[in-house]
Amino acid sequence: MIRTIIFDLGGVIITLDQTESIKRFKALGVKNIEDYLDCYTQVGIFGDLEEGKITAEDFRRELSVICGHELTFEECKHAWLGYRADLPERNLNALRELRKKGYRLVLLSNTNPYMMSWAESNEFDGHGNSIHDYFDACYMSYKVGVMKPDEQFFHKVLQGEKALPEECLFLDDGTRNVAVASELGIRTYLAKNGEDWTHDLFEILEKEA
Protein backbone atom coordinates (compact mmCIF):
# COMPACT_ATOMS: atom_id res chain seq x y z
CA MET A 1 0.00 0.00 0.00
CA ILE A 2 1.24 3.46 -0.87
CA ARG A 3 1.54 5.65 2.19
CA THR A 4 4.02 8.33 1.09
CA ILE A 5 3.92 10.30 -2.16
CA ILE A 6 7.15 12.03 -3.18
CA PHE A 7 6.96 14.92 -5.64
CA ASP A 8 9.48 16.78 -7.72
CA LEU A 9 8.91 20.54 -7.85
CA GLY A 10 9.82 21.73 -11.35
CA GLY A 11 7.98 19.92 -14.13
CA VAL A 12 5.50 18.35 -11.70
CA ILE A 13 4.13 20.83 -9.16
CA ILE A 14 5.09 23.85 -11.26
CA THR A 15 5.52 23.90 -15.02
CA LEU A 16 8.92 24.91 -16.37
CA ASP A 17 10.07 27.39 -18.98
CA GLN A 18 13.83 27.07 -19.36
CA THR A 19 13.90 29.49 -22.30
CA GLU A 20 12.62 32.33 -20.13
CA SER A 21 15.30 31.73 -17.51
CA ILE A 22 17.97 31.66 -20.21
CA LYS A 23 16.59 34.93 -21.57
CA ARG A 24 16.77 36.58 -18.15
CA PHE A 25 20.30 35.41 -17.39
CA LYS A 26 21.44 36.64 -20.79
CA ALA A 27 19.88 40.01 -20.00
CA LEU A 28 22.06 40.11 -16.89
CA GLY A 29 25.13 39.54 -19.04
CA VAL A 30 25.69 35.75 -18.89
CA LYS A 31 26.37 35.27 -22.59
CA ASN A 32 27.10 31.53 -22.43
CA ILE A 33 24.24 30.65 -20.08
CA GLU A 34 23.34 27.54 -22.13
CA ASP A 35 26.62 26.01 -20.96
CA TYR A 36 25.38 26.14 -17.37
CA LEU A 37 21.67 25.37 -17.47
CA ASP A 38 19.92 22.09 -18.16
CA CYS A 39 16.30 21.03 -17.75
CA TYR A 40 17.24 18.64 -14.94
CA THR A 41 20.80 19.22 -13.67
CA GLN A 42 22.87 22.44 -13.66
CA VAL A 43 26.67 22.69 -13.98
CA GLY A 44 29.39 25.12 -12.90
CA ILE A 45 28.42 27.61 -10.21
CA PHE A 46 24.77 26.88 -11.02
CA GLY A 47 25.24 23.22 -10.11
CA ASP A 48 27.38 24.15 -7.11
CA LEU A 49 24.53 26.32 -5.85
CA GLU A 50 21.93 23.58 -6.21
CA GLU A 51 24.20 21.01 -4.58
CA GLY A 52 24.86 23.28 -1.63
CA LYS A 53 28.57 23.66 -2.35
CA ILE A 54 28.22 27.45 -2.42
CA THR A 55 25.75 29.85 -0.81
CA ALA A 56 23.37 32.23 -2.52
CA GLU A 57 25.77 35.05 -1.67
CA ASP A 58 28.72 33.13 -3.16
CA PHE A 59 26.69 32.60 -6.31
CA ARG A 60 25.74 36.27 -6.55
CA ARG A 61 29.36 37.36 -6.22
CA GLU A 62 30.68 34.83 -8.72
CA LEU A 63 27.94 35.56 -11.24
CA SER A 64 28.70 39.27 -10.88
CA VAL A 65 32.27 38.54 -11.95
CA ILE A 66 31.04 36.54 -14.95
CA CYS A 67 28.68 39.35 -15.95
CA GLY A 68 31.25 42.08 -15.35
CA HIS A 69 29.02 44.14 -13.08
CA GLU A 70 27.51 43.87 -9.60
CA LEU A 71 24.29 41.92 -9.31
CA THR A 72 21.75 41.98 -6.51
CA PHE A 73 20.03 39.02 -4.85
CA GLU A 74 16.75 40.11 -6.44
CA GLU A 75 18.28 40.21 -9.93
CA CYS A 76 19.59 36.66 -9.51
CA LYS A 77 16.25 35.55 -8.09
CA HIS A 78 14.35 37.09 -10.99
CA ALA A 79 16.53 35.22 -13.47
CA TRP A 80 16.15 31.88 -11.66
CA LEU A 81 12.39 32.36 -11.41
CA GLY A 82 12.24 32.45 -15.19
CA TYR A 83 12.06 28.68 -14.84
CA ARG A 84 8.70 29.08 -13.12
CA ALA A 85 6.04 29.08 -15.81
CA ASP A 86 2.84 28.23 -13.96
CA LEU A 87 1.49 26.69 -10.79
CA PRO A 88 -1.73 24.97 -11.91
CA GLU A 89 -4.55 25.18 -9.41
CA ARG A 90 -5.41 21.55 -10.19
CA ASN A 91 -2.08 20.50 -8.70
CA LEU A 92 -2.73 22.40 -5.50
CA ASN A 93 -6.22 20.91 -5.27
CA ALA A 94 -4.75 17.45 -5.71
CA LEU A 95 -2.24 18.03 -2.90
CA ARG A 96 -5.01 19.21 -0.58
CA GLU A 97 -7.13 16.16 -1.40
CA LEU A 98 -4.24 13.75 -0.90
CA ARG A 99 -3.53 15.15 2.56
CA LYS A 100 -7.21 14.81 3.45
CA LYS A 101 -7.00 11.16 2.46
CA GLY A 102 -4.11 10.68 4.87
CA TYR A 103 -1.14 10.36 2.53
CA ARG A 104 2.18 11.79 3.64
CA LEU A 105 3.39 14.27 1.03
CA VAL A 106 7.10 14.86 0.53
CA LEU A 107 8.98 17.23 -1.78
CA LEU A 108 12.27 16.01 -3.29
CA SER A 109 13.80 18.63 -5.56
CA ASN A 110 17.00 19.79 -7.21
CA THR A 111 16.61 23.45 -6.39
CA ASN A 112 18.33 26.46 -4.84
CA PRO A 113 17.85 29.28 -2.30
CA TYR A 114 16.60 31.71 -4.94
CA MET A 115 13.76 29.47 -6.10
CA MET A 116 12.90 28.47 -2.56
CA SER A 117 12.83 32.08 -1.34
CA TRP A 118 9.70 32.30 -3.49
CA ALA A 119 8.34 28.81 -2.77
CA GLU A 120 8.74 29.19 0.99
CA SER A 121 7.04 32.58 1.03
CA ASN A 122 3.32 33.36 1.20
CA GLU A 123 3.51 34.29 -2.49
CA PHE A 124 3.85 30.64 -3.50
CA ASP A 125 0.25 29.77 -4.33
CA GLY A 126 -1.25 33.23 -4.76
CA HIS A 127 -3.47 32.63 -1.74
CA GLY A 128 -1.05 33.56 1.03
CA ASN A 129 0.32 30.05 1.55
CA SER A 130 3.86 28.70 1.22
CA ILE A 131 4.95 25.34 -0.12
CA HIS A 132 5.15 24.09 3.47
CA ASP A 133 1.38 24.40 3.72
CA TYR A 134 1.11 21.62 1.13
CA PHE A 135 3.89 19.23 2.13
CA ASP A 136 4.70 17.33 5.31
CA ALA A 137 8.43 17.44 4.56
CA CYS A 138 10.69 19.11 2.00
CA TYR A 139 14.10 17.80 0.90
CA MET A 140 16.01 20.31 -1.22
CA SER A 141 19.26 19.41 -2.94
CA TYR A 142 21.12 22.48 -1.69
CA LYS A 143 20.27 21.60 1.93
CA VAL A 144 20.76 17.83 1.62
CA GLY A 145 24.05 18.29 -0.24
CA VAL A 146 23.33 15.89 -3.08
CA MET A 147 21.39 16.06 -6.35
CA LYS A 148 19.18 13.72 -8.30
CA PRO A 149 19.74 11.30 -9.92
CA ASP A 150 22.25 10.33 -7.19
CA GLU A 151 20.64 7.46 -5.29
CA GLN A 152 21.94 8.93 -2.02
CA PHE A 153 19.30 11.64 -2.31
CA PHE A 154 16.57 9.00 -2.31
CA HIS A 155 18.22 7.11 0.55
CA LYS A 156 18.27 10.29 2.64
CA VAL A 157 14.57 10.85 2.02
CA LEU A 158 13.65 7.26 2.87
CA GLN A 159 15.74 7.40 6.03
CA GLY A 160 14.37 10.78 7.02
CA GLU A 161 10.80 9.61 6.52
CA LYS A 162 11.43 6.16 7.99
CA ALA A 163 9.61 4.91 4.90
CA LEU A 164 9.75 1.59 3.04
CA PRO A 165 10.51 2.00 -0.68
CA GLU A 166 7.55 -0.14 -1.73
CA GLU A 167 5.20 2.10 0.24
CA CYS A 168 6.34 5.21 -1.66
CA LEU A 169 5.29 6.64 -5.00
CA PHE A 170 7.64 9.12 -6.69
CA LEU A 171 6.51 11.62 -9.36
CA ASP A 172 9.21 13.26 -11.48
CA ASP A 173 9.61 14.55 -15.03
CA GLY A 174 13.17 13.23 -15.44
CA THR A 175 13.66 9.76 -16.88
CA ARG A 176 17.01 9.31 -15.11
CA ASN A 177 15.51 10.27 -11.76
CA VAL A 178 12.57 7.90 -12.18
CA ALA A 179 14.90 5.08 -13.25
CA VAL A 180 17.11 5.41 -10.15
CA ALA A 181 14.11 5.56 -7.81
CA SER A 182 12.64 2.48 -9.46
CA GLU A 183 15.90 0.57 -9.00
CA LEU A 184 15.62 1.27 -5.27
CA GLY A 185 12.18 -0.31 -5.15
CA ILE A 186 10.20 2.93 -5.12
CA ARG A 187 7.02 3.05 -7.21
CA THR A 188 7.35 5.72 -9.88
CA TYR A 189 5.35 7.87 -12.26
CA LEU A 190 6.98 9.82 -15.11
CA ALA A 191 5.23 13.16 -15.44
CA LYS A 192 5.45 15.39 -18.49
CA ASN A 193 6.03 19.09 -18.00
CA GLY A 194 2.77 20.99 -18.38
CA GLU A 195 0.53 17.93 -18.60
CA ASP A 196 -2.12 16.97 -16.06
CA TRP A 197 -0.90 14.09 -13.88
CA THR A 198 -3.62 14.34 -11.24
CA HIS A 199 -6.12 11.93 -12.78
CA ASP A 200 -3.50 9.24 -13.34
CA LEU A 201 -2.27 9.62 -9.78
CA PHE A 202 -5.68 9.13 -8.21
CA GLU A 203 -6.31 6.12 -10.44
CA ILE A 204 -3.04 4.53 -9.28
CA LEU A 205 -3.89 5.17 -5.65
CA GLU A 206 -7.40 3.77 -6.06
CA LYS A 207 -6.01 0.55 -7.51
CA GLU A 208 -3.49 0.29 -4.67
CA ALA A 209 -6.05 0.87 -1.92
Q: What angle do CA 17, 9, 192 make, to 5 degrees?
A: 60
Q: Annotated catalytic sites, by residue?
A: 8
